[in-house]
Amino acid sequence: MKYPKLFEPTRIGALELRNRIVLSPAHTNFTVDNKYTDRYIEYYKERAKGGVGLIISAHVMPEVDVDPYPTTFGYPTLDSAAEIKYFTELVEGVHQYGAKIAIELSPGTGRLADELIEGKPPLGPSEIPLLLMPTMKTQELTKEEIRQLINSYGKSAGLAKRAGFDAIYIHFLAYLGDQFLSACWNHRRDEYGGSLENRMKFLRDCIDSVRENVGEGFPLIVGLALDHGFPGGRELEETIKIAKLLEPLNIDALHLRRGSYDAMTLLIPTAYMEDGVSVDHAHQVKKAVNIPVIVDGKLSDIGHCEALLCEGKTDFIGMARPFITDPHWPNKARTGNEKEILHCIRCMECIDRVFFAKYSACSVNPEYGREYKGPITKSKNPQKVLVAGGGAAGMTAARFLAKRGHDVTLMEKSGQLGGHLLEAAVPSYKKGTKQYLQWLVRQVMNLPMEIKLNTPVTADLVAHMQPNVLIVSTGSTPFVPQVAGIEGKNVRLATELLVNYRDLEDNIVIVGAGLVGCETALFLREKGKKNITLIDMLPVIAQDVIFMERGSLLAELERKEIKQKTGLQLKEVTSTGIVVKDENGKEESIKANTIVMATGLQANDSLFNDLKDKVTVDEIYKIGDCVAPRKFIDAVHEAYTVAMSI
């Protein structure tokens, strides 16, 4: 076997596991009224079936009387025996496929309270500002309230054991538990505050309460932040001390991750960040204590994971998002089918959607969250389908249509499949996107369909071919404002430059600081180009970038010394640079050797408009960027929905 250490059967305390692979907690928001649904349970079952060793459930609330927050994420609650049935359904489903499951119990939310409930002020270890509403503060928990939280915590753990869970995961990261542990948030003067030992009392009391309810020997995993990732937050040295103080308490494993809600991308790293962000810190803790360690945070290269285990840097490999993109990656890696693994592109859409109270969804795996609909079945009425355009949308549609047994022809105007994926995948930090592109091309190549490159679909071609169904996925093309000088030799398109940058000199102005402009700037810097300036009409840059990704992108632009000028509209391109004007009409000249246009994309919908009113085909659909230029998630989900409906 290629990865003997990863697939070595092992244990966490008394718990026997089939391998060292852990599904890190990942809340999908697939609950209804804070209860697991079929949608949620089938999502987990698919991962169990895919070969994971241990699943750690996402956040579960042990009580909602003292601390009923957060209100928007729909975390399940386990506070009475009446709830057991939902949890048992989950546990039994997972066990059926040989995986084990721990429950992530969080003793409260504290300063991470979200939409406020009237008459229920958020409570914290101390009076501290709410992260999301800094003008509001938590009220300090009374000792009686702390006692109630601890009792509920243990009771919930007992219920979890009755429901069939294999281990209790004590969640002391970011939420109330971490707030008690950390001097930056815990300013109490009683036995729960002050010294580290005192700040740990809440954790010790929770552990004791769990033990009273589950008994000795029942596996316990403690989840801690390695460091918080902001000035004044906890640093690694103190986490090592915490781990040492936990050692006598018979903890069976530690789950260690860097970050906090204040440094969210350290916890859930973006494409712009390095792989394995938490590994070195976790290793420092592992060396200091004799407790097995689970680490996660942008780990997906399986060879790298095997090496980390062999070098003793960690005992278990945790992953969250790679299980979203591919529930079966462990089985694929174990059986030598690694090329079949669909990797995560680290785009943050899945978590962004949870934060905005939506069901989580994935940019590259449209089946995530739809496992409950069952496996893909063959169409009873196979159609002759023509897919026009071989970008993300067209390839995804063709893939699912072919799986459903339709007679599919995929036609692509250019000589290559991929569309904008070809450009998006170029920068080194987009290696996940490159893997996705290669994976998608391989998938369509290996399915029964006809693929024709260098074949633009036209109205005449459709009339000649006479498909029953036409799917138009002709994507988008760059939009370029027609100002004086725009035809000059010193003007280049960002999309073109990403695939052919070699002849470029330093001193570059990029007009348009949305995702494409910003990423082009980072890419050119990566290629050693100097003095790069981003210009945008809007007052701030990267406005089209989702919240969960934007901070990380801005930090990277700053780190790479990309200059920014905002509130400036392009007026003219000259032989020595550009002329821009601000909102008051004041003009400014900016010198540059090359002007890169990243001023957006426009829908390429002419084929659809030509055909939509003609009766050449029975059904015609428009998907992806040719509806409006957007993102992979839109292209892929529209493609999936259409393909599954035909």
Ligand X SMILES: Cc1cc2nc3c(=O)[nH]c(=O)nc-3n(C[C@H](O)[C@H](O)[C@H](O)COP(=O)(O)O)c2cc1C
Instruction: Show which residues are catalytic.
Output: 175
Q: What is the nearest approach in angstroms of ligand SF4 to the Cβ of residue 40?
A: 16
Q: What is the nearest approach in angstroms of ligand FAD to the Cβ of residue 23?
A: 24
The verdict on 364 binding ligand SF4 (CB under 6 A) reads yes
Q: Which residue has the tokens 């699943």?
A: 55
- In angstroms, the CA 220 to CA 246 distance is 12
Dihedral sign from CA coordinates of 625, 631, 635, 637: negative
User: How many residues in the shown chain lie near ligand X by CB under 6 A?
Assistant: 24
Helix pair 38-49, 84-95: axis angle to 10 deg: 20
Residues ≥6 apart with Cβ < 8 Å to 499? 422, 423, 426
The verdict on 29 binding ligand SF4 (CB under 6 A) reads no
Q: Phi, psi at residue 366, to the nearest 5°? A: -70, -10
The verdict on 317 binding ligand X (CB under 6 A) reads no
Q: Phi, psi at residue 457, to the nearest 5°? A: -80, 130
- Determine the interface stretch with ligand SF4 among 6-14, 339-347, 419-427, 566-574 (rule: CB under 6 A): 339-347
Q: CA angle, 512 as apex, 508 and 518 as ends, to 5°?
A: 70
Which of 353, 525 has the CB closer to ligand X? 353
| Residues 103-142: x where in contact with ligand X by CB under 6 A, - otherwise, as a string | -x--------------------------------------
- Chain-centroid distance, C-alpha 604: 29
* Cβ atoms of residues 409 and 453 within 8 Å: no
- Exactly one of 344, 397, 408, 562 binds ligand SF4 (CB under 6 A); that residue is 344
Contacted entry of ligand SF4, ligand FAD, ligand X, none for residue 457, CB cut-off 5 to 8 Å set by kind: ligand FAD
Closest CA to 457 of 340, 565, 617, 250: 617
Amino acid at 22: V
Amino acid at 326: D
The verdict on 24 binding ligand SF4 (CB under 6 A) reads no
Closest CA to 429 of 518, 533, 505: 518
Which of 140, 519 has the CB closer to ligand FAD? 519
Alpha-carbon distance values, 211 to 146, 163, 217, 367 (Å): 17, 16, 9, 39
**Residue 514, Cβ neighbours under 10 Å: how many?**
20
- Exactly one of 349, 371, 519, 634 binds ligand SF4 (CB under 6 A); that residue is 349
DSSP assignment string, 254-305:
EEEE--BTTBHHHHS--TTSPSSTTHHHHHHHHHHSSS-EEE-SS---HHHH
Which of 281, 413 has the CB closer to ligand FAD? 413
Alpha-carbon distance values, 17 to 10, 170, 289, 531, 576 (Å): 5, 19, 22, 53, 66
Which of 150, 516 has the CB closer to ligand FAD? 516
Strand partners, 60: 105
Which of 113, 509 has the CB closer to ligand FAD? 509
Closest CA to 595 of 528, 515, 527, 496: 496
The verdict on 267 binding ligand X (CB under 6 A) reads yes
**Residue 558, Cβ neighbours under 10 Å: how many?**
10
- In angstroms, the CA 324 to CA 329 distance is 10
Q: What is the nearest approach in angstroms of ligand SF4 to the Cβ of residue 221?
A: 23
- Exactly one of 291, 324, 449, 470 binds ligand SF4 (CB under 6 A); that residue is 324
Which residues of this chain interact with ligand FAD, rule CB under 6 A? 347, 363, 388-394, 411-414, 419-421, 423-424, 456-457, 473-476, 495, 498, 515-516, 519, 604, 607, 624-625, 630-633, 635
Contacted entry of ligand FAD, ligand X, ligand SF4, none for residue 364, CB cut-off 5 to 8 Å set by kind: ligand SF4
- Exactly one of 55, 90, 273, 351 binds ligand X (CB under 6 A); that residue is 351
Q: What is the nearest approach in angstroms of ligand X to the Cβ of residue 409?
A: 37
The verdict on 298 binding ligand X (CB under 6 A) reads yes
The verdict on 396 binding ligand SF4 (CB under 6 A) reads no
Which of 6, 393 has the CB closer to ligand FAD? 393
* Cβ atoms of residues 408 and 433 within 8 Å: no
Q: Phi, psi at residue 596, to the nearest 5°? A: -105, 125
Asked whether the bond before 629 is cis by omega within 30 degrees of 0, the reply is: no
The verdict on 228 binding ligand X (CB under 6 A) reads no
The verdict on 58 binding ligand X (CB under 6 A) reads yes
Contacted entry of ligand SF4, ligand FAD, ligand X, none for residue 362, CB cut-off 5 to 8 Å set by kind: ligand SF4
The verdict on 348 binding ligand SF4 (CB under 6 A) reads yes
DSSP H or E run through 148: helix 143-163
- Determine the interface stretch with ligand SF4 among 157-165, 307-315, 321-329, 406-414 (rule: CB under 6 A): 321-329
The footprint of ligand SF4 (CB under 6 A) covers 321, 324-325, 344-350, 362-364
By CB under 6 A, name the binding residues for ligand X: 24-27, 58-59, 104, 171, 173, 257, 267-269, 296-298, 319-322, 350-351, 354, 360
